Every structure is written in C-alpha cells, then in structure tokens.
Amino acid sequence: SASSEALHEIVTNMRVKDDGIDDLPVKLRRYAAQVFELTNVKLKMEIDDAISVLKLSPEKRNDIFLIYRELLNNTNKHAVAQNISIAVRKEKNKIRMIITDDGIGFDTATLSSRNGTKILKGRVEKWKGEVITSSSVGSGTSVQIIIPV
C-alpha cells in the first residue's frame, strides 16, 4: 500500500544518514555490491572518484545516494537481468548516472504510476535534474539521471 511504502521510505532515509560513510563513490560501490551480491547478475561498475571532491550539501549528497539506491533497487526487483552496467560520472557542472540492464524491459508509458518512481522523479526535480528512461518490453532498460552540481 502507499502508506506502507511511505513509511518504508522514511525509515530507510533515517538509516541512510547514519552509515558514517562520507566518501560518495565508496558508498555507491558498496551499496551496489550489497544489492547484487546474492544474485547471478554480472555487474559492471564505473564510478568516478572525482565525485568525492564535489562540494555538495549533505542534503544533496544524501538525495543523490537515495536516487541511486532507488534505481538499483528497482533494477534488482523488476528487471530480471543477467547483466547490469552502472556508471556514475562527474561531467563539468553535473553528475550523470546511467543504469543499464538486459532484463525484461517495460512499456515506458506505465512508468509514472509507481510510487517509488514518483519519489525518485521528485528528488531529481528538486535539484533541477533530469530523468531519461529508455525501455521496451523484452529489450532491457536504460535510465539516465543528470543532476547539476
């Protein structure tokens, strides 16, 4: 239900802030490893260490992690993928995240109906960012998030 999803989101947000990891690239790598460690997914990760030198507010840093977490959880939960590629790069005045999988894909017209997707989109828009989703049934999915820094 929507209320249990909202409660889960609140509890998870509280937990995220207490993990003690300040280095964002380390945190992103560690989270991906945790999410996919018990799966048969072949994971390719490219996370730019230059992200750690960006001067981000704690709130923005936390939101970037929460966006990343939501993308990985959605991929793990819904994609049924054998291969997943994660790229997080610093580019001039932005961070670009690209999560690509070879899973079952979906009709992007149905994307906005899920609560988690709405929360993710809201977080990205809060920082004047952009979400670009490319998918079709049977063809995998690519989600790109661009956040100005």
Strands 94-101 and 83-91: antiparallel
Cα–Cα distance for residue pair 60/111, rounded to 1 Å: 24
Phi and psi angles of residue 106, each rounded to the nearest 5 degrees, phi first: -160, 165
pTM of this structure? 0.83
Torsional class of 56: left (φ above 0), alpha (ψ -120 to 50), beta (otherwise): beta
Cα–Cα distance for residue pair 83/101, rounded to 1 Å: 6
Phi and psi angles of residue 35, each rounded to the nearest 5 degrees, phi first: -65, -40
Amino acid at 43: L
The reported pLDDT for the residue numbered 140 is 95
Cα–Cα distance for residue pair 139/141, rounded to 1 Å: 7
pLDDT one-digit tens code per residue, 19-53: 455 689 999 999 999 999 999 999 999 999 999 98
Phi and psi angles of residue 144, each rounded to the nearest 5 degrees, phi first: -120, 130
Q: Is the dihedral of CA 145, 138, 30, 111 positive or negative?
A: positive
The reported pLDDT for the residue numbered 17 is 47
Taking only the tens of pLDDT, the chain with its 149 residues reads 555 555 555 555 554 444 455 689 999 999 999 999 999 999 999 999 999 989 999 999 999 999 999 999 999 999 999 999 999 999 999 999 999 999 999 888 776 556 677 888 999 999 999 999 999 899 999 999 999 99
Q: HSE, CB side, 13 Å, CA atoms: give it for residue 126.
A: 15
